Amino acid sequence: MTNHLHLLITPENKEQLAIFMQTMANKYVRYCNAKYARTGTIWEGRYKSCLVNSEQYLFTLYKYIEMNPIKANMVKSLNGYKWSSYAHNALGQEDKLVNEHALYQALGKTVETRCEAYQSLFIKVDLTKQNDNITQATLRGEVYGSDAFHQHIEKSLTRPSKLSAHGGDRKSKAYKNQVN
C-alpha cells in the first residue's frame, strides 16, 4: 500500500513478532535513508496487530489483505498488485516472500489443487460483515475470532480479549442512571 503494509505472520511466540517487526522496520528505515539521502524515521508509530483464530478466520484475513489494493483503487484486478500474495496463493506463481501457512498447505497436495481450493474459498468468503471487525481488532490490538476463541484467550490471559467502551453519552438515560 502507499502509506501502510499488511503482513500475515504466524510467529511461534509473541516475542518473535516484536523482534521481527523491530528488525524489519530498522532495516527498512536504514535502506530508505541511504537510498534517498535522508535522515530520521519513516514510521509514524508502533505497528498494530491482532491475534487471529486461524482455524476459522485465516482465509477471511487473506481476502481482507489481498483486496486492499483494489479497495484503495490502486489496481483493477487481484493479480495487478505486485506486492500481494494473491498471485502465489491463487495462481501458483512463485514468490520467495511467501511462506505458506499450514492451513493453506492443507488445501491440497499439489500447487494446482491448493490454488483451485484457494480461489473457491476466496469467492465464498464474504467480507461485508468482517471488514470493520478486522480493522477494529487490528487498531485496538484485540483478538479476531469467534466468541469461543475470545473466551479461550481470556482464560489463557486472565484478562478481556476485547476492549470495553470508555465513558458514555452523558446525555443518555443509561449514563445518567449509572451516575445517580
Q: Is residue 69 part of a domain?
A: yes
In this structure, the answer to whether residues 38 and 79 fall within a common structural domain is no
- Say yes or no to pLDDT of 97 above 70: yes
Q: Per DSSP, which regions of the chain are E strands?
A: 51-52, 143-144
Residue 121: count other Cβ atoms within 10 Å of its Cβ: 18
User: Residues 7-29, buried b or exposed e (16+ Cβ, 10 A)?
Assistant: ebeeeeeeeebeeebeeeeeeeb
Q: Is residue 176 part of a domain?
A: no
In this structure, the answer to whether residues 20 and 78 fall within a common structural domain is no
In this structure, the answer to whether residues 62 and 31 fall within a common structural domain is no
What pLDDT score was predicted for residue 165?
64
Q: Is residue 163 part of a domain?
A: no
Helix and strand numbers (H, E) in the chain are 8, 2
Domain count, the chain: 2
Q: Is residue 37 part of a domain?
A: yes
d(CA 4, CA 73): 15
What pLDDT score was predicted for residue 45?
83
In this structure, the answer to whether residues 23 and 83 fall within a common structural domain is no
In this structure, the answer to whether residues 115 and 58 fall within a common structural domain is yes
User: What number is the average pLDDT over the span 55-62?
Assistant: 92
Q: Is residue 15 part of a domain?
A: yes
In terms of residue numbers, what domain contains 41? 11-47
The model's confidence at residue 169, banded by pLDDT at 50, 70 and 90, is low
- Say yes or no to pLDDT of 174 above 90: no
What pLDDT score was predicted for residue 4?
87
Pinpoint the alpha helices (H) of the chain.
Answer: 14-35, 54-71, 86-91, 102-105, 111-124, 131-140, 147-157, 173-179
What pLDDT score was predicted for residue 171?
67
Q: Which residues are 155's β-sheet partners?
A: none
The Cα angle at residue 139 between residues 133 and 144, in degrees rounded to 5: 40
User: What number is the average pLDDT over the span 19-48?
Assistant: 92
Q: Is residue 6 part of a domain?
A: no
In this structure, the answer to whether residues 149 and 60 fall within a common structural domain is yes
In this structure, the answer to whether residues 141 and 102 fall within a common structural domain is yes
- Say yes or no to pLDDT of 162 above 50: yes
d(CA 161, CA 176): 28
- Say yes or no to pLDDT of 179 above 50: no
- What is the four-CA torsion angle of 90, 96, 97, 101, rounded to 10 degrees? 60
Lowest mean pLDDT, pick from 28-37, 86-95, 142-151: 142-151
* pLDDT tens digit sequence for 108-153: 999 999 999 999 999 999 999 899 999 999 998 889 998 899 888 8
- Say yes or no to pLDDT of 166 above 80: no
Main-chain phi, psi angles of 137, to 5 degrees? -60, -40
CB within 8 Å of 6: residues ≥ 6 apart: 65, 68
In this structure, the answer to whether residues 93 and 123 fall within a common structural domain is yes
Query: Would you say 29 and 41 are in contact if contact means Cβ atoms under 8 Å apart?
Result: yes
